[in-house]
A and B are shown apart, each in its own frame.
Chain A
């Protein structure tokens, strides 16, 4: 009986409802403690956690071991075969020798690809999402569904013709750019940026639209009445209000681009001028599949940025995942 009374939001009973919420909280913590505990469940989850962590851990340990030890003993014997070194990292990152991986340049490439390839689709998708949400036009619904449906098209469907288009149109532009600013190599980031931007758009438009269309109509209407143009509304109201959605998509896109191999293989040309870390790594596993002292260190150089992003921005990353997976 009494529960029913406090549940009603009667004016002037703030104090009452506060006590109610405390009571509710109390019973919640009580419930939280009473969870499904069984020994088997605990053991199984421990086993899973260990299996999921050990491979990465082994690679990390190995990357700090001297070459001859990696090659002759298992990393789990590191206590019997003591020895730690930073040589592997120095070798893969800074060694000037032509035969070494020279990851420094590729690391810069990965950053140079990922940052613009995150920003470009984000801005373009925000604009499109705004148009779909707040500019009324005929066929808006159908066009929006069509853009969403483009996710059906696997990347692979676009690759061959896109490469042909790029060779016909973008190559001359790159050559021209190289002529004006000789310091920019003829093989530059332009094709990779454009490809990543295109492939990101359908999902980006969809996710950002979901968020942008939830902005209260009153806010937009009030700005319109005050005589704000669409440009002003977009920059002053929509973008600031959409920061959470933008942040989670940005993390997602950044990681996706950083981890990509396929687009890089096809559009980068594979030289130190443009190719990202992933491409270099794939190459190394092919040609130097036995040089574990190099491979382990090289792999960790490529993992470091995504792991930093993951551990520091995990919350937003998860939010983006949930938004992306529940699709609406």
Chain B
């Protein structure tokens, strides 16, 4: 990078910020100067328009286009071909199956581990630091996490010293080193571990906050009744954090369905590890199969839809109770 490049980049940021500030400033200036009659209307438009225009052109219109694109062949004629491809080609079916494995395992395991961890360290000395350790992966990019774990799974042929932690452990116990990333089907599960590693911190933080929200009186009352720790957890803590549990599981499920970076970084979808979101990118932007890409995006939408709808319903019900 030369100095000229750097100046060019800084200039770009400054120009971008200046233009943006000018646009927003002008909007607010003009709506405040709008004629008295109809000022309310102009003010509303001024405040809402930037967001609404961006959403309409950048999200709503494209989403509708994608939905249509999924049912079009190259000449723009109506077709089911892309969906036929998806449900008949072995590679495509494998992608769907992998996605299901991901979305079943990641939310369950990260929620259970996150919950157990937050219960175990609750009120312990150094809780803050315990939490920070498990929460830290949340701040790391999926790409970074992918590299971190690829290093753990690194393989050296037998006889050489292993530099990957997992194979070193295997060898220490007298096993043969395994090419983890290339070995189907274990590689899918090893990729899933990375996502669990990232999401557990999220589950832990949210559930820990929920646990702290349970009135101590309830726990004490249960204790006076002579219950043991497990019974208190089952009968007081779990019902108390039910709402948060739903939120955690749904949020992680949605994130998992859309996971792309981990697969991209670690295997690029090779060795039978692809998932819908990765395949969508590969088809649409690598192979220029826009129809297939759109169909996969649509499938993703259909998979996410019920989860979000359920989530919204549960929350609405809770709000009514409150």
Contact = CB atoms under 8 A, between A and B. Distances in A.
Interface of A: 28, 31-32, 35-38, 41-42, 44-45, 48-49, 52-56, 58-59, 62, 70-76, 102, 104-105, 108-109, 112, 115-116, 119-120, 123-125, 127-128, 130-132, 135, 137, 147, 149-162, 165, 181, 183-185, 188-190, 193-195, 197-199, 201-202, 205, 229-232, 234-235, 255, 258-262, 265-266, 272-273, 278, 281-282, 285-286, 289, 292, 295-296, 298-299, 302-303, 306-307, 309-311, 314, 317-318, 321-322, 325-328
Contacts of A72: 160-161, 163
Nearest to A27: B216
Given A151-B308, A198-B58, A55 B151 contact: yes
A259 B140 contact: yes
Interface in B176-220: 197, 200-202, 205-206, 209, 216, 220
Nearest to A60: B148
B100 interface: no
12 contacts: A36-B119, A38-B229, A44-B116, A49-B130, A52-B133, A151-B308, A152-B309, A160-B284, A161-B65, A161-B69, A229-B43, A322-B206
Contacts, number: 345
Interface in B1-50: 1, 4-13, 15-17, 20, 24, 28-29, 31-32, 40, 43-44, 46-48, 50
A181 B11 CA distance: 10
B51 A160 contact: no
B209 A322 contact: yes
Interface string B278-297: 00110011000010011011
Contacts of B20: 116, 119-120, 123
Nearest to A324: B251
Contact of A282 (B66, B209, B265): B265
B296 A156 contact: yes
Q: Secondary structure of the A side of the interface? A: helix
Q: Secondary structure of the B side of the interface? A: helix
Interface residues of B, number: 124
